[in-house]
Amino acid sequence: MDSLTNLTATEAVKYLKKREISAVDLVYAAINKISEVDKFVNALPTLAFDKAIENAKYITDNLPREIPRGYLYGLPIAIKDLTDVKGILSTKGSKIFKNYIPQKSDVLVENLQSKDAVIIAKSNTPEFGAGANTFNDVFGKTLNPWDLSKTCGGSSGGSAVALATGQVWLATGSDLGGSLRIPASFCSVVGLRPTAGLVSHGPTVLPFNNLTVEGPMARNVLDVSLLLDAQSGINIYDPISMHTNSVSYVDSASMPTRPFKIAYSPDLGIAKVDSEVLDICSKALSKFETGGSKVELIDSFFHKAEDTFQVLRAAYFAMNMDNVLKNYRAELKEEIVWNIEKGLDLTSKQIFNAELNRGSIVLNTTKMFKQFDIFVCPTVLTPPFDVNLRYLEEIDGVKFDTYIGWLALTFALTLTGCPVISIPCGFTKSGLPVGLQIMAPWNQESKLLSVSAYFESILGLRNKVPISPVL
């Protein structure tokens, strides 16, 4: 069974396609692995084994005549617990929904099931995805498999840990301020925040929101491309959804491309970054210079990014969760209450200025990409920290004003609207993972994946997972 869980997702799908293994084989392999390791890390608290076995048997016996792009042949996957799956407990990490079993799936789930993905579990998340340390009052903390005393990041922390420990081959996540990228960095896996609209989802009360996106997580770049092929596509319930690229993302990732000019900022001009993280990222970039790429340190244009993001995020919380606050205030964690109230107290001038500032960041990003192929910076300004800290309050004596202040390197790039990926780039002296963010121009996921595959091949960290939890 371990030989199956150690397969990459791409390898597993290849064997499924050739009928050398069956979807049922993979489901039972995943069940065994989950039973073996999840008691140590708490990544997949909601399990759907019976449904998964039933679906795998049906898929094995009923392959479609026409195979759609992104078809997964019965590969078991995990769905982040913010996303509704019909007939499966969907708590959103909140006591408010601790017994909620939806009667209809989100369109993202319906799309994946139409590609014959088998949902085997829901992955743990902070309450309503707020914050980048994965804990909640329903299921508790998810632990980092590289060091069980450390946070795995968030909010897609359960997905990242399930991938790193070999419990599933692919997992979904979502990203507002870094929720796909931060846990990818902390767990040494890959998380991709796509261009808004590429991965459709909904229905939602904010159908034109473009700050929050759904996206893929996997153990390597090629596997992320496989899930992106399955996830992407237009849907009537998502008015900003768009058609996929004509070329398969797997094909793009299968053709690694060396970038000619790389723009690099170690701190975006707005963050205090841990010295060991800086050193690891700098050494990673030096390998690309040796390979022929030109790396240029650029001046930051993100100096207003934190205020801008904090305002837009607070407005999003207020619009999306005002009724939740009115009806369930006592059951919400304090950070969410603060964030909703911050949004409700915003003035029109604050929102006006934030939108203008975001426009300036987008314009400067576009100008930058006229000179450079890609943009690179660290994913998180710190290695994984103590899981018992609700959030990071300071680094090297520099205090953060809010519970998301330490996410500056990811939420600043959210504002650009461009696709961003986090790939593993090294480990600290104590063995904790560090990730590197790579950003490409808007709607150029194919370019991003091709370049990321090149980076991955140079850095040589592709086969570091899955691992058993370090007890």
For residue 349, indicate whether it is catalytic. no
Choosing from 22, 123, 155, 159, which is the catalytic residue? 155
- Name the percent of the chain in helix, strand, coil, to the closest 5: 40, 15, 45
Say which DSSP state 213 is in: E
State yes or no: is 94 an active-site residue: no
DSSP state of 407: G
| Catalytic residue chosen out of the listed positions 22, 123, 156, 179 | 179
Q: Which residues pair with 213 in a beta bridge?
A: 175
In this structure, what token pair is assigned to residue 417? 């609207």
Residue closest to 458 by CA, chosen among 255, 296, 291: 291
Q: Concatenated DSSP letters for 270-334?
A: T----HHHHHHHHHHHHHHHHTT-EEEE-----TTHHHHHHHHHHHHHHHHHHHHHHHHGGGS-H
Question: What number of other Cβ atoms are within 10 A of residue 287's Cβ?
Answer: 14
Q: How many helices (H) and strands (E) does the chain have?
A: 15, 17
Which residue's entry shows tokens 């939806």?
A: 102
Which tokens go with 293?
């790429």
Catalytically annotated residue among 22, 33, 80, 105: 80
Residue 300 falls in the annotated catalytic set = no
Residue 88 near residue 48 (C-beta atoms within 8 A): yes
CA dihedral 334, 337, 340, 341 (to 10 degrees): -110
Task: Kindly list the catalytic residues.
Answer: 80, 155, 179
